[in-house]
Structure 1
């Protein structure tokens, strides 16, 4: 995954709950939550 300087993204991984949070902020902040629990 390529992250351009003009479109920064932050990725957080929670080891206890195994959830992945991806914050992409092109114009503002949008939060996407990806649960790896099946």
Structure 2
């Protein structure tokens, strides 16, 4: 996949610069605790 296409798709999906989502933050925190990874 070329970089320009990848960036266009990310923009099209609207996944950057969105408000925080507490459910996903909790999943990430649990994964961090379980694996010891940042």
Task: Using CA pairs under 8 Å that are at least 6 residues apart, name the structure with larger relative contact order, 1 or 2.
Answer: 1
The answer, yes or no, to whether TM exceeds 0.5 is no
Q: TM-score, normalised by structure 2?
A: 0.20
- Per the normalisation by structure 1, the TM-score is 0.20
Greater helix proportion: 2
